Amino acid sequence: MLNYNRIVLAFFIVFVSSSLLFAGGPWPQAKGKGYFKLYEWWIIFDQHFTDSGNLDPNVTTGIFNTSVYAEYGLSNRVTAILNAPVLSRNYMNNLVSATTEQVLVAGEGINTIGDIDLGVKYALTKPGAKYPIAATLILGLPTGKTNGGEQGNLQTGDGEFNQLLQVDVGTSYALGKKSSIYFSANLGFNNRTNEFSDEIRYGLEAGLGLAKSRLWLIARLNAIESLKNGATAATATSTSIFANNTEFTSIGFEANYYITKKFGVSAGFATATRGEIIAAAPSYSVGFFYDMNR
């Protein structure tokens, strides 16, 4: 039988990494200004990348996260960051025998809070710099559930406290009177506790603003490389099995449209182009945001 503890939790790496993508690149919020977002993120998958990068089938599994994201300028160079999955649903369909059609493992689901990210961004360059650089520290709090369901393999968090230190650099340009474009890159190190493997994270992002920046189209490439220094599969708990040596490269796209000067809607998706111990399916998100800077 497939190791469902490993499979069911695999996609949480996608969630953790995607939540960090909201962290605004190297541009901090102005003092007293902020950006706030309520969004839904979900993924449903019936196959996964194995530890050798091959595809294997699994029972259909899904997670839906209703989350609050916020950035607020404590000063012109210091921004506080919050990403909180206030409601997380993890479910698994029935596991049915392909020969007898009997239910081998009954499907089930849980609804609870997910892991919360708290962070702070510090601008290393002065506001208005042509090539702004910022350092961000994100603390991943183990507030989610790690052993839900009758089988104990439904989770909304990984059970470890991680500290991600990331550096972002970018630049932006005006394209005539109605359009603009920006580029940014990031590199980070994620220290993880509870015998979880540490990680190197890096990414690229480009955004195009149209119609006097009422419509923003964003493309992202992100990757995680494991240092493979965590507990081995033979000795780890189910949550550690999920986290050990997880690696992937993903591409994602997002559209943001300002309905009014400050209020808007967003929609996006991301998918892994290669991976190890991770879901082989795209994730999706939709949301509403309020931008105090406009």
How large is the average pLDDT for residues 174-201? 94
Per the document, the length of the chain is 294
Q: Are 91 and 109 in contact (CB under 8 A)?
A: yes
The residue to which tokens 């964003």 are assigned: 218
How large is the average pLDDT for residues 72-87? 97
Contacts of 189 (CB under 8 A, 6+ apart): 164, 165, 166, 198, 199, 200, 201
C-alpha–C-alpha distance, residues 118 and 115, integer Å: 10
Q: Give this prediction's pTM.
A: 0.88
Give per-residue pLDDT as tens, 115-129: 999 999 999 999 889
Q: What is the mean pLDDT of the chain?
A: 87
CATH of the domain at 249: 2.40.160.40
Give the residue with greater pLDDT, 123 vs 61.
Answer: 123
**Which pLDDT score is estimated for 235?**
47
C-alpha–C-alpha distance, residues 9 and 4, integer Å: 8
Give per-residue pLDDT as tens, 15-51: 444 444 455 699 999 999 999 999 999 999 888 888 8
Q: Are 46 and 285 in contact (CB under 8 A)?
A: no
Give the domain range for residue 188: 4-291
Neighbours of 2 (CB within 10 A): 12
